[in-house]
Amino acid sequence: MPRLPSILRSVALYGLLLAGSALFALPFFWMIGSSFKVDREMFGRKLTLFPHRPVPATASPWLDPRALPDPESPLSRRAIPILADALRALDLDLPPTVGHRDHAVSILAPALFSRLRDTLPRAVWERPDPAFANRLRAETTPELAAETARRLLRRLVFGPVRVRSIDLQESTLTATIPVPAFWTLEAPGGSEARWLPHPESPDTHADLAYRFAGKSTNTLVLSATLHLPFPEDRLARIQLSLTPDDSWHTLDFLLEYGGKRYRALQPEVLGQFNPKVVTLQEFGPLDAPDSNRIKLWIPYRETDADPSFESRPGKVRLVVTLRQSSPARALFLKGARNYRTALRFIPFWRYAATSAFLVILNILGNVFACSLVAYAFARLHWPGRNFAFGLMLATMMIPPQVTMIPYFLIIRWLGWYNTLHPLWVISFFGNAFNIFLLRQFMKGIPRDMEDAARIDGCNFLQIYWYVILPLIKPTLACIAIFTFMAVWNDFMGPLIFLADQQLYPLSLGLYALNVQQGGDFGMMMAGSLLMTLPVIALFFFAQKYFIQGITLTGSKG
């Protein structure tokens, strides 16, 4: 019994420790989950920590029940059966790929309830059953049902096809021909596919209705011969207007012209339902892998050459392959989507290499300069030592915002603006806090070791190198870790001193990406997580030195 209070105290302390750890780790886990999400999952009605599992559609157009909020409530159980009966009485104009009529009604009825719940006054929902049912039937009009179906209907829409030359000559190839007549559609392997008129713009767009046979990987092939108004060797880009159907299938692109075959380097993933323009374009002279230009297009490269390929003047053969995704492939595509986009849009590895370069130089500068100055303060006797040490500590009282402008003027006077020099040279002048940290630790080292080294013939530099440095390794490791975290996450310094994006470190590169391509928060979370991983890895592999260095700084001087 006497041990019970201590056990309860230990349980309470460990419980508080775990609760605090979970609380502080929650934003990090939210960032991990957000890096796998699409935009609609971030801005939905319910805040979710983990992304939704993608479900590949076997047929399209299709009704998406995942877009609905959870309607489970006493009011929904009362209203949804009435709305379902009212919908069955209507002549719903739905694509045949949607499935059985009852299946469509089971999706549309909750969606209709969600809309009416937000628009009808409260008094309607409090009416008795006969009056309540009559009002809901009266509200369930064909127009409202059709509008609700359009909001939930996911369709793969093909629109105009445009080409552009190197000389900026543009042409819309589908301006005089309907989209279904422009493409040649093939459905091998028992799959079904046909064109449906687009309800909103039938003259310029068309819906591709398809149904894959079975659950194995199937394909649909669309091909077209592009008649260019300019020579094919002047082709700069091909633009295809597209509305994905959120099916998580992929589109592969292949081109033939001039007797050569070109293949896109990555597929277009149909993981959204917002209209977009897919641009196919070769890498230009300014589009090197380490170029800082944001690459919003899908690049293609030559893969083969043969006389049987399209070689007629002014003709380009475009082949688009719709490839079915299995659940596992869809899960992988969604997980990798934001990371691929972040790595493709910016020269991520160039920015990371610049950050690593700055980290290495700053660590070397801080370790060398701070340890040498701290050795002079702690072990050497010279006039004015204590005054100089106090003056150095006084500099810690000056806010960095005060010295920012004078430091910038000095850097500009030296001609170092828009170079990496101001981001690492200053580290070789030492850091007041690090010098104080090392000095306090060095004062705790017994002088007998120093005297023995002096008797053996060592001068003060040899004593510093062979005696002092090996003893302060834990504190140096602590300083290296702090320096790494400060330099790796530094944003203000590069923002002030750099104007050339080729010199950006990773922190400023991600900010530039957010400015130029704002709104894609999943991609930003993926880039931020990639930037955070080295810091986490450093802590886990060097936590022994980190904790030891923090502990030893309390040694009595």
- The whole domain housing 98 covers 62-152
Domain boundary among the residues 152, 172, 187 is at: 152
E strand spans, 244-314: 250-257, 260-264, 268-269, 276-281, 298-305
Task: Answer yes or no: is 98 within a domain.
Answer: yes
Same domain, 430 and 535: yes
Task: Answer yes or no: is 341 within a domain.
Answer: no
CB 114 within 8 A of CB 147: no
Q: Highest-confidence range of 132-141, 421-430, 466-475, by mean pLDDT?
A: 421-430
Same domain, 80 and 166: no
Same domain, 457 and 356: yes
Mean pLDDT (whole number) for 300-307? 91
Task: Answer yes or no: is 46 within a domain.
Answer: no
Task: Answer yes or no: is 51 within a domain.
Answer: no
Domain boundary among the residues 127, 152, 177 is at: 152
pLDDT at 504: 93
Task: Answer yes or no: is 23 within a domain.
Answer: yes
Same domain, 79 and 205: no
Residue 379 has pLDDT above 70, yes or no: yes
Task: Answer yes or no: is 53 within a domain.
Answer: no
d(CA 433, CA 427): 12
pLDDT at 2: 56
pLDDT at 267: 94
Same domain, 242 and 255: yes
pLDDT at 276: 92
Does residue 61 have a cis peptide bond before it, meaning omega lies within 30 degrees of 0? yes
Same domain, 147 and 176: no
pLDDT tens digits along 497-531: 999 888 999 999 988 888 777 667 888 889 989 99
Same domain, 21 and 77: no
Task: Answer yes or no: is 190 within a domain.
Answer: yes
Residue 555 has pLDDT above 50, yes or no: no
Same domain, 263 and 392: no
Same domain, 281 and 166: yes
Choose among 351, 334, 343, 352: nearest CA to 35. 334
Same domain, 181 and 318: yes
Mean pLDDT (whole number) for 383-407? 90
Residue 458 has pLDDT above 50, yes or no: yes
CATH number for the domain that contains residue 427:
1.10.3720.10
pLDDT at 285: 59
Same domain, 370 and 270: no
Same domain, 404 and 517: yes
Q: Which residue is it, tokens 């040649």?
A: 184
CA dist list (Å): 503 to 81, 354, 428, 532:
63, 7, 21, 20
Query: What are 411's two structure tokens?
Result: 């850097």
Number of domains in the chain: 4
Least confident piece of the model among 87-91, 123-127, 143-147, 508-512: 123-127
Domain boundary among the residues 152, 187, 213 is at: 152
User: What pTM, to 2 d.p., does this model score?
Assistant: 0.83
Task: Answer yes or no: is 336 within a domain.
Answer: no
